[in-house]
Structure 1
Amino acid sequence: MAQSTTAWEDHPEPLAVDSAPRPEYGSGSLADLLPTLAAGMGVPGTTPAITELTPADRNCVFLIDGLGWEQLRAHPDEAPFMTSLLPRSRGGTGRPLTTGYPATTATSLASVGTGLPPAAHGLPGYTVRNPATGELMNQLRWQPWSDPKTWQPHPTVFQLAQQAGVHAAQVSSPTFANTPLTKVALSGGSFHGRLSGEERMDLAAEQLAAGDRSLVYTYYAELDGAGHRFGVDSDTWRGQLMHVDRLVQRLAEQLPPNTALYVTADHGMVDVPFDEQHRIDFDEDWELRAGVALLGGEGRARHVYAVPGAENDVLTCWREVLGEQFWVASRDEAIAAGWFGPPGACEDRVYGRLGDVIAAARDDVLIIASEREPKESAMVGNHGSMTPAEQLVPLLEVRS
């Protein structure tokens, strides 16, 4: 069943770049969460951007991969505890945050951990071109390898907190202990690997109690995996949501005194039908391939790298072919429109990583690449763009 991603009507002309619903950098994005919490604990170099959050001595962020604001609100029976934290519930104070663009895991985790927008931390997509080599780099799997400190040189908020005497810790799967993405986005303090979600919740509570001031991060990935494989309204996805709701409650019931728990996510997700109308195959479309040297990003958030000299032709073609279903922008237009960060945020080392042409889906469509990306092209649930279903993630609060 097709899932509509927006409430907008079809446009007869290509979508204007500035009509895209831009992320709320500086006041209500994922990048603003940890700096706000750290500032409340007196960590130098951090700013309280989300002004309605009350400072706490101990703060925990539980990030649930793939849990969008709209998906949570659509499933109250599967997530009764988290639903009780929504603003429509008695006493609920939850609100949505915007992830930042693109709405994808590597980008969002870097935004969370560094407190910076993608234009500054430099992980602006699932795959992007490395200007030094001319190759596409997968920033989730870190392939081909590039020096992490060079790729993302800014300190994380956890590192700033640790330097200020705050007890900082990450509790996640052991798989992520030494990955380059963890190093550039979430390092600082101590890492604690636990296999089960229940073990992570219990250990996160212990780590919160380990300091008079504590900043703890914990993570759950399996909901995202269920969405990719089976869709965000499948029985498997619903079952995972029920499980993660119990994990949130388990952690909330163990919070030590003077603690604030914040439940959030890295992106939402939409299901895309399996037909040629909704899945446009780059590998079989000669118009879209013309003048393109590299195809980066992912199905709903493409970075398109043109053959030198063909940038304008590629932009014109992509707008003509996709302009009613995608926001299609040049690199400079996307930067000026604030897709990757506020004005002036784009660093020189990041500029060349962005596509010459950037295409963000408005409708429930994908630009797949069946030969180059067979696994990604077969996913049911997808994300990346700026529609509310992908861009909005929950910020739920529990205090002790």
Structure 2
Amino acid sequence: MPPPHTAWGDAPPQALAPDSAPLPEYGTGSLADLLPTLAAGMGVPGTTAAIPELTPADRNCVFLIDGLGWQQLRAHPEEAPFLTSLLGSSRGGTGRPITAGYPATTATSLASVGTGLPPGAHGLPGYTVRNPDTGELMNQLRWQPWSPPGAWQPYPTVFELARRAGVHAAQVSSPTFANTPLTKVALSGGTFVGKLSGEERMDAAAGQLAAADRALVYTYYAEVDGAGHRFGVDSDTWRGQLMYVDRLVQRLAEQLPPRSALYVTADHGMIDVPFDEDHRIDFDEDWELKAGVALLGGEGRARHVYAVPGAANDVLTCWREVLGEQFWVASRDEAIAAGWFGPAVDERVYPRLGDVVAAARDDVLLIASEREPRESAMVGNHGSMTPAEQLVPLLEVRS
């Protein structure tokens, strides 16, 4: 692996071009395209079938498993026999990967799922981003500091569009998510059903599907992601979570009412990053990377960099020289032009993006040990545009 810094007097490394990054398949095969496709099949106005191979069904359920990437699932067939059986068409469905969207992180992906919009439109373009009204970093997963949800993300969710069209819409998740701002902006509309255990959620999701002739139901499980962050995506703990969620999917599949389709997907994949200086570059200890930077946003593999006034070009130049062989490093306008955040970026979203945006290509992490001690200690990480992070399963079971 190339060293993270170029020695004085050496020629600068050849930086990765922003338009060479492998883009998410916005409009044809991304998370933002899933619910609009299902809703369009139920005749919901204002939705479009962007994934045409999905056959319409009267009752649709999306089970989102946080952190279960396509590559990680394919690598563990023994732990997930039921999910692995869905990779083909043996059960009358299909199994293929779709892309998460950039960045491949939970808040961004859940907003893409629920609104049917790419990040440049829904406006949750990272783990932490600058709030232009306050100048502070805002954590969009925890919604800290608080900001008015309706102003931050003003578009209706697909669930709301479905409800208006007479479709029974429901979300089945942990009770702790019932009234969070992220739920409000990304997944609201219809009935929220709070259940603590995975088994209870599967049973409740099946019940919500059967509650009406036309239904759109969402359910969620978080702990595969948690195990990956803490212990890594090949740890015994992670494998145990995969075995458990495999049983949950089978439990739900076996309860599907007639004329139903179950879609199993995820919000992102994950990679394990070694704990050494070649793989973990510490922003808080690097005077070159810190020069001219007012705020460091995003996360270790998908950074938003906010420069002090007048320093954006210098920060871009420095970051390319230091990281350009390992990260795609772009100015805000270059990242937008390359389509990182979707085909367009709304005016309200534009200043939330970093003056410089950096996405990891190699198995490296740009940590911030002082500012982000908890995040910097994670084994498993995600956020960027590599296949291990971007590709998530789209598995189907029909009744």
Q: Same fold (TM over 0.5)?
A: yes
1:43 has 2:44 as partner? yes
Aligned to 2:168: 167
Paired residue secondary structure (2:357): strand
- Match of 1:348, SS state, is coil
Map of 1:109 onto structure 2: 110
Q: Partner letter of residue 369 of structure 1?
A: A
Corresponding letter in the other structure for 1:158: F
- C-alpha distance in 1 between matches for 2:133 and 2:204: 41
- Tell me what 1:8 maps to: none
Q: Does 1:77 align with 2:78?
A: yes
Aligned residue for 1:322? 323
Does the 8 Å CA contact 1:83/1:89 hold for their aligned counterparts? no
Deviations 1:29-82 (A, max 9, x none): 000000000000000000000011000000000000000000000000000000
Aligned to 2:53: 52
Q: Which amino acid aligns with 1:251?
A: L
Counterpart AA for 1:372? R
Q: Percent identity?
A: 88
Secondary structure in structure 1 of the residue aligned to 2:352: coil
Take 1:92 and 1:363, find their aligned partners in 2: how far apart are those partners?
A: 34
Instruction: Give the aligned partner of residue 87 of structure 2.
Output: 86
Confirm whether residue 245 of structure 1 aligns to residue 246 of structure 2: yes
Aligned to 1:124: 125
CA contact (8 A) 1:84 1:92 kept: no
Q: What is the match of residue 369 of structure 2? A: 370
Question: How far apart, in 2, do the equivalents of 1:90 and 1:318 lie?
Answer: 49
Q: Counterpart of 1:219 in structure 2: which amino acid?
A: Y
Residues 183-194 of structure 1 mapped to structure 2, 5 A cutoff: 183-194=184-195
Kept in 2, the 8 Å contact 1:264–1:393? The answer is yes
SS at match of 2:303: strand
Structure 1: which 5+ runs fail to align? Answer: 3-10
Q: Report the CA distance between 1:93 and its aligned residue.
A: 1.8
Cα deviation for residue 87 of structure 1 reads 2.9
Counterpart in 1 of 2:217? 216
SS of the residue aligned with 1:352?
helix
Distance in 1 (alpha carbons) for counterparts of 2:149 and 2:29: 28
- Aligned counterpart, 1:67: 68
Quote how far apart the aligned CAs of 1:221 are: 0.1
Answering whether residue 369 of structure 2 is matched by residue 338 of structure 1, we say: no
SS at match of 2:46: coil
Which amino acid in the other structure matches residue 131 of structure 2? N
CA deviation profile, 1:303-332 (whole Å, cap 9, x unmatched): 000001000000000000000000000000
Q: SS where residue 218 of structure 2 aligns?
A: strand
2:347 partner letter: D
Amino acid at match of 1:305: Y
After superposition, give the CA deviation of every residue in 1:123-160 in whole Å (9 maximum; x if it has no partner). Answer: 00000000011000000000000000000000000000
Q: Secondary structure at the match of 2:321?
A: helix
TM-score by length of 2: 0.96
What is the DSSP-based 3-state SS (H/G/I as helix, E as strand, rest coil) of the residue aligned with 2:27? coil
Alignment gaps of 5+ in structure 2: 2-11
Please state whether the residue corresponding to 1:218 is helix, strand or coil. strand
CA 1:233–1:92 in structure 2 vs 1: closer, same or farther (change >3 Å)? farther
Residue 383 of structure 2 aligns with an amino acid whose one-letter code is G
- Equivalent residue number for residue 349 of structure 1: 348
